[in-house]
Structure 1
Amino acid sequence: MDRRRPPQTEEGWYVLHDFRTVDWDAWRDAPERQRALALEEGIDYLSSAMALEDIDGEDGDSALFSIVGHEADLLILHLRPTVADLEVLERRFEGTALAEFTEQTDSYLSVTEVSGYMSEEYFEDGEAADTGISRYIQSRLEPEIPDAEYVNFYPMDKRRDAEWNWYDLSFEERKEYMSAHGDIGRDYAGKVTQIISGSVGLDDHEWGVTLFADDPADIKDLLYEMRFDPSSSRFGEFGRFRFGRRFAPENLRAYFAGQQVSTDPTDGKPVEGAASGGHGDSSGHHGESSPSDGHHHGDASAHGEEADATDDADVRPELEELGVYAGQPHGEDIHAVVLYSEADADDLFEEVDGLRTNFDHYDSHVKTAVYDTEDDEAAVVSLWETERAANTAAGFLSDLPDIVRQAGDDEADSWGTMGMFYTVKPEHREDFVSTFADVGGLLEEMDGHRKTSLLANLEDENDMFIASRWDSREDAMEFFRSDAFGDTVEWGRDVLADRPRHVFLA
């Protein structure tokens, strides 16, 4: 009897979808003092969970959603490193005054996972696997709940019947199905983000799928298109779909007052005199959005600001003194993903143009462009405001044609690439290129210097990117302190349209 080879899996954070139904009759009948206490304790609990205070701000994420439809009113979504962490969160909520007005009508327990369908090399030899893929996989195992307005959740199984039995297929057949299925998802990069979690032995189905988007139609379009993919049409079986809209804990008062619920935490107070009847109250309906609603869910500082503790943070003041913009500790960092491809630059641009259209749906996306290099390679540069977003984008970009490497992956013993972006005045472009050649000759003679390349944006030849690699941070800083660099900075004030900017390699 043949035994099918299951794909290897790696697990990350545990996920709890906690669906709550509100007892609106009890809420309407309760004294105002009791309702005020319930809201206060509910907001405190949810804010604490989102700030990760239950695990001292280490790892995980939480979010709150209003659910549209009759089966639930609220979804509290938690991601934590252990099941024990989730169990504590459940009990803590039951200890709040708000819990007296809610019932947990459904829940789903799962764990984020990736499988060998994604990268066999990662499981066979993790150290030898491409580190760009490794970082992408890590972002799947320890995801941040996307900053999107809408959520869709459904559980699913793979079919096991006489005609179509997923588990009777060979590994190679299953991998081919999954690859084609993933191609559809990649077409929605930047529009729809997913968290895939395994639940065999943890809940009633085999997987939980959580989708996030700013446009509900994007979720519908993605799922509709996937219905025609054989991995779904032949082998997919799905549970109940639930759909909701994210809002900040501070807006719980507006939710229970039956008002439109803003996603902006600063809009947390209900309109004076508004009814607080909730469902069935004609004065308002929770979950409706307005064009002015923001997409800011809680305080980003709750997740920590890792850059402050890194060499990148330490180097900022020194670069700033030299007239090089290096970002600020609070929200202005730019993280770069740089991948090199042997494909024709124009052909590569067509592929990138489709991806970045989707990337533009994310507020954290700064830009993505194709740059020509001095070598036979083209470079794809993608800039993001957060390292996590940059790492996620790297997973999509690594599927571009003829990618040969990601900047920084081939030399782990060196200091991270110094990404220096320059906007050159058109009339001085030739002077800038000539001066770079002179400085390049000087760099070749410096201790600790490995390589420096000048790249130009295909769409704007005056947008330049210089990538440098050094044996150590101190070697790089020695150059930045040199008279030659100081003279170049002074000269650049006349030929550059803006200050040079340093970005951190994601």
Structure 2
Amino acid sequence: MERRRPPQTEEGWYVLHDFRSIDWDAWRGAPERRRSQAIEEGIDYLDACEAVDDADEGESATFAVLGHKADLLVLHLRPTLADIDTLERQFEHTALAEFTTRADSYLSVTEVSGYMSEEYFDEDATVEDTGTARYIESRLKPELPDSEFLSFYPMNKRRGPDHNWYELPFDERADYLSNHGEIGKDYAGRVTQIISGSVGLDDFEWGITLFGDDPTDVKELLYEMRFDPSSSRFAEFGRFLSARRFPPADLGAFLAGERIPREGESVDHPHVRRESAGHHGGSDGHHHGGGDTGGHPHGDDGSDDEEEEFRTELEEMGVYAGQPHGEDVHAVVLYSAADADELFDEVDGLRENFDHYDTHVKTAVYEPRDESSETAIVSLWETDRAANTAAGFLADLPDIVRQAGADETDSWGTMGMFYTVKPDHRNDFTGAFEDAAGLLADMDGHRKTDLLVNREDENDMFIASRWDSREDAMQFFRSDAFSEAVEFGRDVLTDRPRHVFLA
């Protein structure tokens, strides 16, 4: 009897969906002092979880469950089961726990499989230049999006007499899942998912957690997927639980039956504000930029003091290099050898979906003036998680050859995003660039500089350079030639230039 080939898998963080029901009769009958203590200790516990005070890395979030199945969901992602176990027991020592019972729970672990990328599991293959490796890393160690709505459900693949998923050949299973994933791409930027495996850990084979700002986006996605054979023939589902996220500080409002988030107030999630290395840019929508989706801020040791000193030095020159307190956007920059028209059509389709997401700043195709260089796709986001998710979709664009920051790790990169030129001075700007390129070609440590132009706006450009080292780049930034370029820019640009440094 032929044994079907299972996909290889790699596991990441463990996931616990901890559903709690409130004993409302006990809550209403408790003395005010006892309820205040429960709220205070509950907030302290939830705050510590979301700040990941208990582990080196991970994520947590708090949700109000809709319907009768539970009242409260605390979602934890941690590197080890010991971390999860500790968090469970710590909750039981809070005064809040006395007013709750566990309504349900689900234990799983994030995973990627060979269905997604067999190349990833091939020791001789190289996938980091396409951004696939970074996307897979974001699947194994996901950052929880700050979306308001969550839908969770467990599922199995069917093993019935008519349709048995595990009897299908590997390639056929992979085709089913690839087609299934194409549906999800239409919801990029609107719905984010975490897929976690639970074979041997819980009652089903997978747990699916979907996040979105509009619950109907999640509904429409799931409804459309019902008609795909991967679901209609082979999927079996457990019960669905829906919830709305709220910050721990609003625990008292939740228990008091008040509106959460409260009317007119923004939701501030502490974990979203944690600074991520490697992303620097602006905040006005003109000259944003960023590095790759990981790594050190400027290719050195990544120390905060050095980073701040470097930004300050550029600021004194009149060059904006981003702020260190959360205002920066996160950028994905990929290069493709595909036909620019074909590439633009693909990007435009993705962008329509990205625009549904509040954290999307901009996605555009930039064509090089040098025919020997590749076309660039730049996608800017307000959060690291959104940028990583977008990188996964963008990596599937035609003929992607590399991702900025993932290549030439022995060098120092700068990226000015974006130079928005006054229309009357466009030729002046491109002429000045040609002059600067001539100077750069003779500078020690300079490798390459490209000028790329937004194919939808000829006045929107960015300049990307590669240097042997940071000091080589700084020699240029400290030079008279660069000072003259900055002064020149004040007259021909709509805003001051902004430089971004890649890992």
Q: TM-score, normalised by structure 2?
A: 0.91
Aligned to 1:344: 339
CA pair 119-17 structure 1, distance change in 2 beyond 3 A: same
Alpha-carbon separation, structure 1, partners of 2:318 and 2:210: 43
Secondary structure in 2 aligned to 1:413?
Answer: coil
5 Å-filtered alignment, 1:148-227, equals 148-227=147-226
> Offset at 1:392?
2.3
Aligned to 1:298: 270
Aligned to 1:42: 42
Secondary structure in 1 aligned to 2:178?
Answer: helix
Which segments of 5 or more consecutive residues in structure 1 lack a partner in the other structure? 268-289
> Offset at 1:297?
2.1
> Offset at 1:179?
0.6
CA pair 468-198 structure 1, distance change in 2 beyond 3 A: same
Asked whether the equivalents of residues 367 and 454 of structure 2 are also in contact (C-alpha less than 8 Å), the reply is yes
CA pair 453-221 structure 1, distance change in 2 beyond 3 A: same
5 Å-filtered alignment, 1:371-386, equals 371-374=366-369, 375=371, 377-386=374-383
| More off after superposition, 377-386 vs 11-20 | 377-386
> Offset at 1:304?
7.0
Of 60, 71, 74, 2:72 maps to: 74
Q: Is the aligned partner of 1:454 residue 2:448?
A: no
Alpha-carbon separation, structure 2, partners of 1:451 and 1:385: 29
Aligned to 1:477: 474
Secondary structure in 2 aligned to 1:461?
Answer: strand
CA pair 305-503 structure 1, distance change in 2 beyond 3 A: closer
Q: Is the aligned partner of 1:309 residue 2:303?
A: yes
Aligned to 1:318: 313
| More off after superposition, 201-210 vs 383-392 | 383-392
What amino acid is the match of 1:91?
R
What amino acid is the match of 2:250?
N
Alpha-carbon separation, structure 2, partners of 1:67 and 1:84: 26
Alpha-carbon separation, structure 1, partners of 2:40 and 2:162: 55
Secondary structure in 2 aligned to 1:217?
Answer: helix
Alpha-carbon separation, structure 2, partners of 1:390 and 1:315: 24
Aligned to 1:235: 234
Aligned to 1:247: 246
What amino acid is the match of 1:141?
L
Asked whether the equivalents of residues 370 and 458 of structure 1 are also in contact (C-alpha less than 8 Å), the reply is yes
1:140-187 deviations in whole A, cap 9, x for unaligned?
Answer: 111111110000000001111121111111111111111101111111
Alpha-carbon separation, structure 2, partners of 1:411 and 1:15: 35
Aligned to 1:24: 24
1:329-381 deviations in whole A, cap 9, x for unaligned?
Answer: 10122332211223332332232223223223434322111111122632111
1:224-281 deviations in whole A, cap 9, x for unaligned?
Answer: 000011111111010010001001111111111111111xxxx5xxxxxxxxxxxxxx
Alpha-carbon separation, structure 2, partners of 1:205 and 1:504: 45
CA pair 50-459 structure 1, distance change in 2 beyond 3 A: same
Count matched residues. 477
Alpha-carbon separation, structure 2, partners of 1:92 and 1:224: 39
CA pair 302-52 structure 1, distance change in 2 beyond 3 A: farther
Of 68, 82, 87, 2:85 maps to: 87
Asked whether the equivalents of residues 331 and 385 of structure 1 are also in contact (C-alpha less than 8 Å), the reply is no
Alpha-carbon separation, structure 1, partners of 2:76 and 2:276: 17
Alpha-carbon separation, structure 2, partners of 1:125 and 1:334: 34
What amino acid is the match of 1:496?
L
CA pair 205-21 structure 1, distance change in 2 beyond 3 A: same
Secondary structure in 1 aligned to 2:427?
Answer: helix
CA pair 305-119 structure 1, distance change in 2 beyond 3 A: closer
Q: Is the aligned partner of 1:330 residue 2:325?
A: yes
CA pair 127-448 structure 1, distance change in 2 beyond 3 A: farther
Alpha-carbon separation, structure 2, partners of 1:146 and 1:4: 36
CA pair 166-81 structure 1, distance change in 2 beyond 3 A: same
Q: Is the aligned partner of 1:356 residue 2:356?
A: no
CA pair 302-331 structure 1, distance change in 2 beyond 3 A: closer
Asked whether the equivalents of residues 150 and 243 of structure 1 are also in contact (C-alpha less than 8 Å), the reply is yes
Secondary structure in 1 aligned to 2:54?
Answer: helix
Aligned to 2:114: 116
What amino acid is the match of 2:208?
V
Asked whether the equivalents of residues 195 and 208 of structure 2 are also in contact (C-alpha less than 8 Å), the reply is yes
Alpha-carbon separation, structure 2, partners of 1:314 and 1:399: 38
Of 387, 395, 398, 1:401 maps to: 398
What amino acid is the match of 1:325?
Y
Asked whether the equivalents of residues 144 and 385 of structure 2 are also in contact (C-alpha less than 8 Å), the reply is no
Which segments of 5 or more consecutive residues in structure 2 lack a partner in the other structure? 279-296
Alpha-carbon separation, structure 1, partners of 2:343 and 2:105: 44
Q: TM-score, normalised by structure 1?
A: 0.90
Asked whether the equivalents of residues 334 and 503 of structure 1 are also in contact (C-alpha less than 8 Å), the reply is no
CA pair 146-221 structure 1, distance change in 2 beyond 3 A: same
> Offset at 1:191?
0.2
Alpha-carbon separation, structure 2, partners of 1:245 and 1:407: 36
CA pair 149-171 structure 1, distance change in 2 beyond 3 A: same
5 Å-filtered alignment, 1:434-453, equals 434-453=431-450
CA pair 93-327 structure 1, distance change in 2 beyond 3 A: same
CA pair 107-175 structure 1, distance change in 2 beyond 3 A: same
Secondary structure in 1 aligned to 2:153?
Answer: strand
What amino acid is the match of 1:309?
S
